[in-house]
A and B are shown apart, each in its own frame.
Chain A
Amino acid sequence: MKKIKNRDFNFIVGLILAMIVIIPALIGTVWTPYDTEAMNSSLKLAGSSLSHPFGCDNFGRDILSRIMSGSSTTLLIGIGTVFIGAVAGTLIGALTGYYGGLVDDIFMRFNDVMFSFPSLLLALVFVAVMGSGRIQLLLALGLAFIPSYVRIVRAEYVRARNLDYVKSAKLAGASDMRVMFVHILPNILKVLMNSILIGFNNAVLAEAGLSFLGIGVQPPAASLGRMLADSQTYLFNRPGIAIAPGLTLIIMVLGISLVGKSKTITEI
């Protein structure tokens, strides 16, 4: 990603949208306008005002603050999930794809089984096994996302191992590890980068979905999915409570998927 490609509309708009959410979220990890858990009975369900631009929830907690901290939680879980998925997926995919053989067959059978399951459902089963909470959720989603990376990376390695540049590197005496991670890996980064961005979006949506079901991030900690779930009670009289976290989620996902589609990323 040397420089932004000429007039890459998708990249610029995507980046701006993503930053609209990511910058406040990053700030949210260290500072929020109000304590995200502090309650104030006089501000129960208060509408938007100068001091509380998005209003307050049913405990009188500032919604803007909660969105900031909620989206940072979502963001961290997204990054963590992609990290676990991509690192483990790349390792497994590289080893099995490069060496092939019986181990590869067994792994692939197993991977196909996992892959035949929607990742949201897989994560749900993992959470059932491990219990709910931030760390468990991160692990569950990370595990659930490994198979998709394994699949992509393995395919690339299978293709690469017969290519000329790999053969010549081997002839030159490079070790397998070196061939795998120094020679081949940089060449599949483009494919990997794209699936990381898609995976990030899927992880964000899965986190929100699980929290929405009440088995993800636990109160009083804020989470976009949880806020959406709670907002349903007030849909009649204060639909705004649902709109704010919902839009935040959409803007973040939209921004990142635009970046992922942009020429700058796809034509590295």
Chain B
Amino acid sequence: MTGIVKKIFSSILTILVVACLVFLAFAVIPGDPAVAKLGTQATPDKLAALRHQMGLDIPVMKRFLVWIAGVIKGDFGTSYSYSMPVTKLIADKLPVTVILTVYSFVIMTALSIFTAILAARRENSVMDRVIQIVTQMIMSIPPFFGGIVITLVFGLTLKLFMPGGYVSYGNNLPRFLGYMFWPALAIALPKSAMAFSLLYTGLVTERKKDYARTAFSRGNSTKDVFYKHLLRNACIPVVTFFGMALADMIAGSIVIEQVFGIPGLGRILLTSIQNRDYPVVEAIIVCIAILVTVSNLLVDILYRVIDPRTAISE
């Protein structure tokens, strides 16, 4: 158990380091939020007044301390562009990214386990070969191109969904979930192909082991043996991959948002970088760091659950 406590502690430390780095990075880069906001109406006097209003005339170190104190309390300040508390803004958009990521993760897990067992049960059959080749190709599809193809095939040709027809989760939850399936699929496809090949290798190795033979010899059906006995052991090396995939999916959602016109964290991040809306940019990056570390932590705990040996060895 101390292992997990240690992990949690170091995760918190990591997030704090990210927060510091991000603030300092944006304090030194060129670009002025006041200029971005005043546009062509800017005059030296107006700029000075706005900078004062934004608190940009305070020395960096002092600003940093005020900011970090706020962050610890969960207060990220006020957005320059939207004149609303950053925390509220993020709270609105975070579910979009989280749901998209979780959605992709579920699709990836379901798809990879299903196909891996399908292929591994009949090793070297035609079905196996076909699945192998197809996954190898799917693995190489960048999610944004996958998104374009999905839009083209399922949206424009088969009319299974309305491209660009995003509805906020607050307005209409079923339609939101329905729409999000497609971007989630685009993110999940290449990842499930990778998970497939790891799982497949694991399953094929496991089935040759003694315990598997015993299980077969007892007269269990192949299907049962695979799902009941082999899957759990084959999963152990794949869990690490799942953890990394989760982090990649969070990043992938930023690109895929652009293809499917989803106003999530990614869109806000991109526009806020352009507008030099630093409170928002900083908050989003800290948020993503939290998401990534928390998901890593979960994977770590999951690992211990599936494979108790790890816990003992520490």
Q: Do chains A and B make direct contact within the complex (CB under 8 angstroms)?
A: yes
Question: In the complex the two chains form, is A246's CB within 8 Å of B255's CB?
Answer: no
Measured in the bound complex, the distance between the Cα atoms of B25 and A113 in whole Å is 15
B-side interface mostly: helix
Question: In the complex the two chains form, is A249's CB within 8 Å of B285's CB?
Answer: no
- Contact mask A236-255 → B, CB, 8 Å, 1/0? 10010010001001110110
Question: In the complex the two chains form, is B289's CB within 8 Å of A117's CB?
Answer: yes
Measured in the bound complex, the distance between the Cα atoms of B140 and A258 in whole Å is 10
Question: In the complex the two chains form, is A257's CB within 8 Å of B139's CB?
Answer: yes
Q: Which residue of the partner chain A has the closest CB to B254?
A: A121
Question: In the complex the two chains form, is B137's CB within 8 Å of A254's CB?
Answer: yes
Q: Which residues of A contact B156 (CB under 8 A)?
A: 235-236
Measured in the bound complex, the distance between the Cα atoms of B148 and A242 in whole Å is 8
Kindly specify which of A75-83, A156-164, A173-181, A205-213 makes contact with the partner chain: A205-213
Contact residue among A116, A129, A249 (Cβ-Cβ distance under 8 Å from B289):
A116
Q: Which residues of B contact A109 (CB under 8 A)?
A: 13-14, 17
Closest beta carbon of chain A to B37's beta carbon, Å: 17
- Contact mask B242-262 → A, CB, 8 Å, 1/0? 000001101110110011000
Measured in the bound complex, the distance between the Cα atoms of B251 and A249 in whole Å is 20
B99 at the binding interface (Cβ < 8 Å): no
- Contact mask A117-131 → B, CB, 8 Å, 1/0? 111110011001100
A266 at the binding interface (Cβ < 8 Å): no
Q: Which residues of B contact A242 (CB under 8 A)?
A: 145, 148-149, 152
29 contacts across the A-B interface (CB closer than 8 A) = A109-B13, A110-B17, A112-B14, A116-B247, A117-B289, A118-B247, A118-B250, A118-B251, A119-B251, A120-B255, A124-B269, A124-B273, A125-B25, A209-B142, A209-B144, A209-B255, A212-B144, A213-B258, A228-B144, A228-B148, A235-B156, A242-B149, A249-B145, A250-B140, A250-B141, A250-B142, A253-B140, A257-B139, A257-B140
B104 at the binding interface (Cβ < 8 Å): no
A232 at the binding interface (Cβ < 8 Å): yes
- Contact mask A121-156 → B, CB, 8 Å, 1/0? 100110011000000000000000000000000000
A264 at the binding interface (Cβ < 8 Å): no
Measured in the bound complex, the distance between the Cα atoms of B259 and A113 in whole Å is 29
Closest beta carbon of chain A to B132's beta carbon, Å: 11
Q: Which residues of A contact B29 (CB under 8 A)?
A: 128-129
Contact residue among A113, A129, A228, A239 (Cβ-Cβ distance under 8 Å from B145):
A228
Q: Which residues of A contact B144 (CB under 8 A)?
A: 208-209, 212, 225, 228
Question: In the complex the two chains form, is A235's CB within 8 Å of B151's CB?
Answer: yes
Closest beta carbon of chain A to B277's beta carbon, Å: 12
Question: In the complex the two chains form, is A250's CB within 8 Å of B137's CB?
Answer: yes
Q: Which residues of B contact A231 (CB under 8 A)?
A: 148
Measured in the bound complex, the distance between the Cα atoms of B156 and A212 in whole Å is 21
Contact residue among A120, A129, A208 (Cβ-Cβ distance under 8 Å from B252):
A120
Question: In the complex the two chains form, is B136's CB within 8 Å of A117's CB?
Answer: no
Q: Choose among B18, B26, B144, B145 the residue with the greatest number of A CB atoms under 10 Å from its CB.
A: B145
Measured in the bound complex, the distance between the Cα atoms of B281 and A117 in whole Å is 15
Measured in the bound complex, the distance between the Cα atoms of B141 and A246 in whole Å is 8
Contact residue among B145, B247, B248, B288 (Cβ-Cβ distance under 8 Å from A246):
B145
- Contact mask B188-206 → A, CB, 8 Å, 1/0? 0000000000000000000
A-B pairs with lowest CB-CB distance, top 9: A118-B251, A254-B140, A253-B140, A246-B145, A120-B251, A128-B273, A129-B29, A121-B251, A250-B140
Question: Which chain A residues numbered 92 to 118 have a C-beta less than 8 Å away from chain B?
Answer: 109-110, 112-113, 116-118
B8 at the binding interface (Cβ < 8 Å): no
- Contact mask B140-171 → A, CB, 8 Å, 1/0? 11101100110110001000000000000000
B112 at the binding interface (Cβ < 8 Å): no
- Whether A116 contacts B14 in the complex (CB less than 8 A), given A212-B258, A213-B270, comes out as yes
